[in-house]
Amino acid sequence: MNNYLAFDIGGTHIKYGIVNENGEIIHDSTMDTEAHLGGSFIINKVIEAAKIVIQNHQIAGVAISTAGQVNIYTGTIVGAGDTIPDYEGLEIKRIVSTALQLPVEVSNDVNCVALCEKWKGNHQVENFITLTIGTGVGGAIIINNELYTGHTFSAGEWGYMRIEGEPFEKVASISGLIHMAKMFRENRTWTGKEIFALYDRGDSQMKLAVEKFYRHLAIGISNLIYIFNPEKVIIGGGITGRGEQFLQEVKGDVQKYAHPSIFRNTEIVLAKFSNHSGMIGAAYHFMERQKSVVH
């Protein structure tokens, strides 16, 4: 059975480990991204970590999930936000493959989450969209059981779409929620967990912040449902730590904005894989790309 070395490059941490061809994590580790040092620094960091793993394990290839818009054929970053400076234009596949002398495949991180859910999530549907809600808002689209990336590999970048005049990810991410909390109490540092804890205890100011967050999230999700008419909306990211309570809360608000017949026929669920989904999805993407290269 082949083993793959998978990396999941985020703005804060890089998760990496060995994934076998059944999607099982054999070994995993985490290191800081140090994103402020730029794209080339990060890729060199990935290469150095890979060299250590390769010394001790038989690896069939390197699978990379990363923030940014990725040309899945060339493994090049074709678009990136401000989180990682000097990332756009970086030819990750070529650089890593040359350094390690192994086949390499690269895909967008949220696309990898969707591929993981498609492969291992047992959702039993062929049309779904995935949202990840954390520091920002990411998206991915599966149509007829195939990932849809768009003609410039930026399909699903709905963090940029406007909700009540503001970018979706500015008002419906954990960062957005923290910003709203600071409007009430600016002289402290917030986490999403702290805000929800006060909300659950009935704090009137945090109630206003959380309700506004849910309204923006629900408007965005209902608009996406109107556009794609998916069988399922799968939500992942840090917010899912709230679990079933979050799911019921967001469904309640989506119901306010979605047409009853459409809401009734759209299942909203939590992602079944969280921490390792980027690595598992990257391994799946690697295997699928390698099949197409062979054929």
* 173 and 227 together in one domain: yes
Q: Which pLDDT does position 115 carry in this prediction?
A: 98
Confidence bin at 274 (pLDDT 50/70/90): confident
What average pLDDT score do residues 257-280 get?
94
Verify that 129 and 262 share a domain, yes or no.
Answer: yes
The answer, yes or no, to whether residue 39 has pLDDT greater than 70, is: yes
- Taking the C-alpha atoms of residue 47 and residue 37, their distance in angstroms, rounded to an integer, is 16
Number of independent structural domains in the chain:
2
Q: What is the overall mean pLDDT for the chain?
A: 95
Place of tokens 């969707």: 114
Q: What is the pLDDT of residue 275?
A: 80
Residue 132 and residue 92 share a domain: no
Q: Would residue 229 count as lying in a domain?
A: yes
Residue 115 forms part of a structural domain: no
Residue 142 lies in a domain: yes
Predicted local distance difference test score (pLDDT) of residue 291: 85
Question: Are 78 and 99 in the same domain?
Answer: yes
Is residue 109 predicted with pLDDT exceeding 80? yes
Residue 225 lies in a domain: yes
Query: Does residue 153 sit in the same domain as residue 179?
Result: yes
Indicate if 36 and 99 belong to the same structural domain: yes
CA distances from 48 to 25, 147, 158, 273 (A): 21, 31, 34, 27
pLDDT at 273 over 90: no
Model confidence at 295, pLDDT cuts 50, 70, 90, reads low
Give residue 234's pLDDT. 97
Residue 40, domain member (yes or no): yes
Q: d(Cα 38, Cα 231) in Å, to the nearest integer?
A: 39
Dist CA 58 CA 248 (whole Å): 44
Q: Considering the domain boundaries, does residue 116 fall inside one?
A: no
pLDDT surpasses 80 at 138? yes
Q: What is the pLDDT of residue 98?
A: 98
Residues 3-25: what's their mean pLDDT?
A: 95
Burial tier of 210 (Cβ tally within 10 Å: 0-12, 13-18, 19+):
buried
Is 244 strand, coil or helix? helix
Structural domain for 201, as ranges = 123-270
Q: Give the CATH number for residue 130.
A: 3.30.420.40
Residue 237 and residue 166 in one domain:
yes
